[in-house]
Amino acid sequence: MTPDRSEALFARACAVTPGGVNSPVRAFHAVGGTPRFIRSASGAWLTDVDGQAYVDLVGSWGPMLLGHAHPEVMAAVGDALTRGTSYGAPTEPEVELAEEIVGRTPVEQVRFVSSGTEATMSAIRLARGFTGRDVVVKFAGCYHGHVDALLASAGSGLTTFAVPGTPGVPESATALTRVLPYNDREAVTALFAELGDRIACLITEAAAGNMGVVPPEPGFNQFLAETCAAHGALFVSDEVMTGFRVSRQGQWGLDGAQEGWTPDLMTFGKVMGGGFPAAAFGGRSDVMGRLSPDGPVYQAGTLSGNPIATTAGLATLRLATDDVYAHLRAVGDTIKDGAATALADAGVPHTVQSAGTMFSVFFAEGPVRDFTDAQRQDTAAFAAFFHAMLDRGVYLPPAAYEAWFVSAAHDDRAVQTVLDALPAAARAAATAREGTHG
Ligand SMILES: *Cc1c(COP(=O)(O)O)cnc(C)c1O
C-alpha cells in the first residue's frame, strides 16, 4: 500500500520541523523511505494514518511494556485527568511511584525528572558534586541521552580522550569525559590506575541496548562497581532502557541481586513513565541527600513528578508482574528463533543477542562484544529486511543498531504475523547483500 497520507504529512512536517521529526531515528534515514505517521495504537498493534496495521516491535522505544492503551493504565490516567494536569506542588502519585521504585530496586531515594537525558545529566552532576571530582567515564556505543558531556566519542589512536560526538558540543564539554571500549576490563583498570583520584563516576548502560543489545559479560558490572568503589568514584548504572524492562528490577535484578553489590546511582525512564514523559535518578541516600533543597547540588524541573505521568508509571509498574516478564521472555524467544532460522535459511550472516527480555538482531557474524563489533553490520541488508517486514505488517525499529521490544499484549496472532513475515524479509536481505557484496 502506498502510504499516501503519511507522505503528505511528512511533506508538511518537513516544512515546519527539521527532518520532519522530533527525534532523528524516526525519520527512516537509516532505512530510506517515508516514515509512517501513526494514528492510533492498541495492544501489540499500531495503525498508521493510511489505515495500515502493524505489529509493533518498537514499543515507543521501550516504554510500552504492557502494550498500547492498556485498559487499566488508561482508566488510571483518565481518572487523574479529571483532577487537572499539573500543579507544581507535591502529589500523592509521586510518593507512591517513588515507593514502588525504592521497593523494587537498590535505590534508597529517587528524584523524578521528565526524560532519560535529564536523569543522566543530573546523576553525573550529583556524582561530581558529591565526590568533588570532575572526570566522567563512559563506554563507546552506550547512549545516555543527549547530554553534552556524554555525547562524546573515543578519540583516535590509543588515547582514551573523548572528542565531541556532534557539532555544537564544545571541546570543553567533553574534555573531562573519557570513553572506553565496552566489556574491556583492562581498559577500565588502566584508566583508573592513571586517573582514579580524579574520576567522579563511571556511567554505563546496565546492559547496552543502544548499539543493538550487547550484554555485559558475566561479572562485568560487578567489576565496574568494585573498581569504582576502590577509587572512591561512584558507579552510575543507567537503566533507562533496562529498568523494569528486562526484569521486575531491571538488569541489576538479573546480574546483581545475588552478588552482593549495588550501584551508587541508577537512572530510570521509558517503562517507569508508562508512555508519558517521566524519568528518574536515585541511589544511596547519603549521595541523594546532597541534592537541593537539602544539599548544595542544584537540580529542578517544572513538570518533574507530573501527576499524570506518575499515575501512568505507577499503574504500569503495578501491572508488571512476574507473569508479564515470563510472557515477554517466551514471546521474545519465539521471535528470536524465527529470525535466526529465517536469516540462516537465506544465508544472511547474523547474530541474535539478548539481555533478559531485551534482544536485537545484528546483521553481522557475532559475537558482538562492543561498538567496534556492532559497526561491522551490513546496514544495507538490514534496510531491505526492514522494508520487507514493514510491507508485511511488522514495524521494526528503523535502524540496525536498536533493540526490538515486545509487550505483554503480543499474543499468538501478533507473533504469527511476525513469523510469517520473516522468511521473505530474510530473502530480501540476502538479495541486498548480493547487490553490495556480490
Ligand atoms: C533512551 C535512553 C536514554 C535517554 O532517554 P530520553 O528519555 O530519550 O532522554 C538514556 N539512557 C538510555 C540507556 C536510554 O536507552
Nearest Cα to Cα of residue 154 among 162, 166, 142: 162
Query: Among the options 270, 370, 395, 401, which is catalytic?
Result: 270
The pLDDT tens digits of the residues spanning 308-364 come to 999 999 999 999 999 999 999 999 999 999 999 999 999 999 999 999 999 999 999
Query: Among the options 238, 370, 373, 378, which is catalytic?
Result: 238
Write down the mean pLDDT value for the chain: 96
Please give the CATH topology (third level) of the domain spanning 71-319.
Answer: Aspartate Aminotransferase; domain 2 (3.40.640)
For residues 177 and 164, give the distance between their C-alpha atoms in angstroms, rounded to a whole number: 10
pTM over 0.75? The answer is yes
pLDDT, residue 258, reads 77
Chain centroid, CA 359 distance in Å = 11
pLDDT, residue 172, reads 92
* Distance from the alpha carbon of residue 403 to the mean position of ligand 1, in angstroms: 13
Q: Is 270 one of the catalytic residues?
A: yes
Residues 6+ apart with CB under 8 A from 125: 297, 299
Decide if pLDDT at 435 tops 90: no
With H, G, I as helix, E, B as strand and everything else as coil, classify residue 409: coil
What's the number of CA atoms in the CB half-sphere (13 Å) around residue 296?
A: 5
pLDDT, residue 157, reads 54
Q: Is 87 one of the catalytic residues?
A: no
With H, G, I as helix, E, B as strand and everything else as coil, classify residue 64: coil
Which residues' Cβ are closer than 6 Å to ligand 1?
A: 115-117, 120, 143-145, 205, 209-210, 238, 240-241, 269, 279
pLDDT, residue 89, reads 98
Q: How confident is the model at residue 197 (pLDDT cuts 50, 70, 90)?
A: very high
CATH architecture of 4-65+321-437: Alpha-Beta Complex (3.90)
Q: Is 336 one of the catalytic residues?
A: no
Residue intervals of the chain classified under CATH 3.90.1150.10 are 4-65+321-437
Nearest Cα to Cα of residue 141 among 245, 212, 234: 212
Sheet containing 234-239, strands listed edge to edge, beginning at the edge strand earlier in sequence: 109-113, 279-283, 265-268, 234-239, 199-205, 135-139, 177-180
* Distance from the alpha carbon of residue 11 to the mean position of ligand 1, in angstroms: 28
Grid coordinates given for 141: 556505543
Q: How many helices (H) and strands (E) does the chain have?
A: 14, 15
pLDDT, residue 163, reads 87
Closest protein CA for atom 6 of ligand 1: 116
Residue intervals of the chain classified under CATH 3.40.640.10 are 71-319
Grid coordinates given for 58: 518498537
Provide the percentage of residues in the chain whose pLDDT is more than 70.
Answer: 98
Ligand 1 probe mutation, 148, 210, 237, most atoms within 8 A of CB: 210
